Chains A and B, each alone.
Chain A
Amino acid sequence: MTEKISSLSRRNFLKNAGVTAGTLVVASTLPSFNAVLFAAVKRNTKGPWYGIAIDIEKCIGCGTCAKTCKIENNVPQEPFFFRSWVEQYTIRKDGTLNVVSPNGGIDGFTQTVPTDQIEKTFFVPKMCNHCAKSPCVQVCPVGATYETEDGIVLVDEKYCIGCKYCIQACPYGCRYFHPEKKVVDKCTLCFHRIKKGMNPACMDNCPTKARISGDLNDPESAISKFLRTKNVYVLKPHLNTGSKLYYNALNQEVR
């Protein structure tokens, strides 16, 4: 009985509290518990580290990127399967927003909002952000989607079980379920082209050269120069996805 009381004594309480606090402080410096390390965006510094840059001031909304992407990568032609697409944003003078993307922009755009009501309007081409810390990769239960060492997010279509969890996890809506293959499909940054020394199909065929991709580790690459000379912004930076799709002149209304 006396021992039980002594285990709750002030001396023991302080001792236990001290040990607990000390353990927590020591543990917090370990890599797996380190909040700073966890929040940091990892980056491959040895080989290439691919990124994308889109200049909204140059995009004319012709939809060639969306059209060529479908042909290059055998994406179904139905208007709801896209690896790459274009959205037309219109901000009205009363502050309301109108976002349209008929057939991903492949058939061209028309402006339905009367000109006198328009405050601002522009095109936003969208595609996979090839995040360095992809939420879609983190949720895959079988390891069928992954980030390569050069920073490209790919899907192994032979290993994908089609659970579609990654489609829900992607905050940018960049994945779709392939109706014939019954697996998830997404932009590969034309992995088969860049490994042969070519540019992605959407970038080669863009008539105004509004989109470029390349090695962020090479200071002389076109994309590194773009990032140095423009005020770039990524989509949803608060999600800390480590997005590598940089937009020039991106409006804050774009989601």
Chain B
Amino acid sequence: MPLHLKRLLMTGVVIVSLFLLLKHALTPFSFGQFGHYRGNSIAEIAALPVHFVGNKSCESCHDTIVTMKSESYHSDLSCEGCHGAAYKHIENPKTEKLIKPNTREFCGKCHSINPARPAKAIVQQNIKDHHPEANCVKCHNPHQP
């Protein structure tokens, strides 16, 4: 083989092996395990922390309120839907308090009159006319409305 072809061949081999080495070093370990993506990212996303812990966790301390609510019109509601995420509260119930929303606007998010709300799906009130002087919770217990 002539010398100039040999040199060209050698250069080619060096470039290709450099490329393969770099590709190996730069591709994440689990890339291509399941498809054209990093397989480990599935486990990473699955391990993210949960914020909304569910009604079961509330029962262990607030059993009377949970029972009262489960027999009322609000039985389908989750506790955290109104009170906010309880992931901190269940670990430090004394210091991490949950919110107790009691404004007319908050109740109105579901119960104010809006033609877009299906009439049979929810009880609706005109929150401007219906006893505007007081908060809803003065008369209606949200756990037993």
Contact = CB atoms under 8 A, between A and B. Distances in A.
Contacts of B49: 192
Contact of A208 (B31, B51, B52, B76): B76
Given A68-B52, A71-B51, A143-B36, A156 B118 contact: no
Nearest to B77: A207
B42 interface: yes
B38 A208 contact: no
A58 B41 CA distance: 36
B67 to A, nearest CB: 19
Given A62-B110, A122-B118, A144-B37, 11 more contacts: A57-B121, A60-B122, A68-B85, A72-B50, A108-B105, A121-B116, A156-B41, A188-B45, A193-B50, A195-B46, A207-B78
Nearest to B80: A205
Contact of B76 (A115, A191, A198, A207): A207
Contact of A159 (B28, B74, B122): B28
B2 interface: no
Interface residues of A, number: 49
A154 interface: yes
Given A154-B41, A207-B76, A208-B122, A109 B116 contact: yes
Nearest to A72: B51
B50 A64 contact: no
Contacts, number: 116
Given A63-B109, A198-B54, A122 B116 contact: yes
Given A108-B108, A207-B77, A208-B122, A115 B37 contact: no
A218 interface: no
Interface in B59-86: 74, 76-78, 80-81, 84-85
Interface of B: 28, 31, 34-38, 41-42, 44-52, 54, 74, 76-78, 80-81, 84-85, 105, 108-110, 112, 114-118, 121-122
At the interface, is chain B mostly helix, strand, loop or mixed? Answer: loop
A129 to B, nearest CB: 18
A149 B118 CA distance: 37
Given A68-B80, A115-B115, A208-B121, A154 B45 contact: yes
Nearest to A105: B109
Contacts of B77: 207
Given A111-B114, A118-B115, A122-B116, A71 B52 contact: yes
B36 A64 contact: no
A205 B78 contact: yes
Contacts of B114: 61, 109-111
B38 A196 contact: no
B87 to A, nearest CB: 9
26 contacts: A59-B118, A60-B117, A60-B122, A62-B109, A63-B109, A68-B81, A68-B85, A71-B84, A115-B115, A118-B115, A123-B117, A143-B37, A146-B35, A146-B36, A146-B37, A147-B35, A158-B38, A159-B37, A159-B38, A159-B41, A191-B45, A191-B48, A192-B46, A192-B48, A196-B50, A208-B122
